[in-house]
């Protein structure tokens, strides 16, 4: 109940803040709310606003969702190795030392998140630490540090914001055309039902356009994975990165879901490659060898 209450209160606060921002922008810029430019402004504020608020909250949400235990003071040799390895890689990549944490999971995975390159989190699963060799784990850490150094969290947030904006915009434009086509101005009952039908149509179109737009986001995510693999090859060595990917290909199916999946080392296969956040491991290995 605490998690549900926190979720509802957070979303309510986000909607209120974005509503205030939207009204301020309408007043300052003198944009008519009923115009096309007003609709585009509405979609941009909520499309980008939701993405950036998610980005700002990403590190906090990741810690809570995966119950990440941040290593403040290493307690054993494994934690010492983990912190020192990330510190060295961060120094070589030219970024500030990320927070380092471990979360309890039998799967072999890791992720990086954070709103800024110099305020990030790198977390690894307990399953990865105890199932991989040190060389393989070092390559995985280098992959995540490369995500941070490449600014992938911010870049994907921008892409998602653009996608959100146009999904909302075109859904409302098309729904308006459909509503106008079927509505009758001579019937008050038809007008009232038309408003409800318009909202339902917007919802359905947002779902449809959202699925199509996710193809763009997932394609971009796959390109960032190739780049993070290349960065890991520079930080840890190409052979170590290939060995880590080969080890992942022999491991269990990953369980990571949601936004963190895009920044994990091990992605989840989909029915179609178009909807995969990560390229197939064999393609990643081939790219490293090439």
The size of the chain, in residues, is 290
206 is in an annotated binding site: no
107 is in an annotated binding site: no
Structure tokens at 187: 């019937």
> CB–CB of 97/90 below 8 Å?
yes
Closest CA to 263 of 140, 167, 153: 153
> CB–CB of 168/43 below 8 Å?
yes
147 is in an annotated binding site: yes
Cα dihedral 6, 12, 15, 19 in deg (nearest 10): -140
Q: How far is CA 112 from CA 122, 202, 226, in A?
A: 4, 34, 16
Per-residue burial over 183-206, b = 16 or more CB atoms within 10 Å of its CB, e = otherwise: beeeeeeeeeebeebbeebbeebb
Report helix, strand or coil for 161.
helix
> Cα–chain-centroid distance for residue 224?
12
DSSP state of 33: T
| Phi, psi (degrees; rounded to nearest 5) at 179 | -65, -45
Active site residue 189: no
Which residue is it, tokens 């459909």?
178
> CB–CB of 147/113 below 8 Å?
no
Catalytic residue among 99, 107, 144, 206: 144
Residues acting as catalytic residues: 144
* Residues in the annotated binding site for Zn(2+): 143, 147, 225
């Amino acid at each position: 109940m605490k998690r549900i209450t926190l979720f509802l209160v957070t979303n309510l606060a986000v909607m209120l803040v974005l509503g205030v921002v939207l009204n301020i922008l309408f007043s300052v810029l003198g944009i008519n709310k009923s115009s096309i430019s007003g609709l585009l402004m509405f979609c941009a504020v909520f499309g980008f606003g939701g993405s950036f608020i998610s980005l700002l909250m990403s590190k906090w949400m990741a810690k809570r969702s995966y119950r990440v235990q941040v290593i403040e003071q290493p307690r054993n040799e494994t934690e010492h190795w983990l912190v020192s390895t990330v510190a060295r890689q961060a120094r070589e990549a030219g970024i500030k030392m990320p927070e380092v944490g471990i979360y309890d999971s039998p799967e072999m995975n890791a992720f990086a998140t954070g709103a800024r390159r110099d305020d990030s989190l790198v977390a690894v699963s307990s399953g990865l630490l105890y199932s991989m060799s040190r060389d393989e784990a070092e390559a995985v850490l280098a992959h995540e540090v490369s995500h941070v150094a490449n600014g992938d969290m911010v870049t994907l947030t921008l892409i998602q914001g653009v996608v959100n904006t146009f999904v909302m915009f075109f859904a409302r434009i098309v729904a308006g055309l459909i509503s106008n086509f079927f509505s009758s101005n001579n019937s008050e009952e038809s007008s009232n039902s038309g408003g409800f039908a318009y909202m339902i149509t917007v919802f359905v179109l947002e779902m449809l356009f959202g699925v199509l737009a996710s193809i763009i986001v997932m394609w971009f995510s796959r390109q960032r994975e190739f780049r993070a693999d290349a960065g890991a090859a520079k930080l840890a060595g190409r052979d170590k990165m290939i060995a880590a990917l080969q080890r992942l290909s022999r491991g269990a199916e990953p369980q990571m879901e949601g936004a963190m999946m895009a920044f994990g080392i091990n992605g989840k296969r989909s029915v179609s490659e178009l909807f995969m956040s990560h390229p197939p491991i064999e393609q990643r290995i081939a790219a490293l060898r090439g």
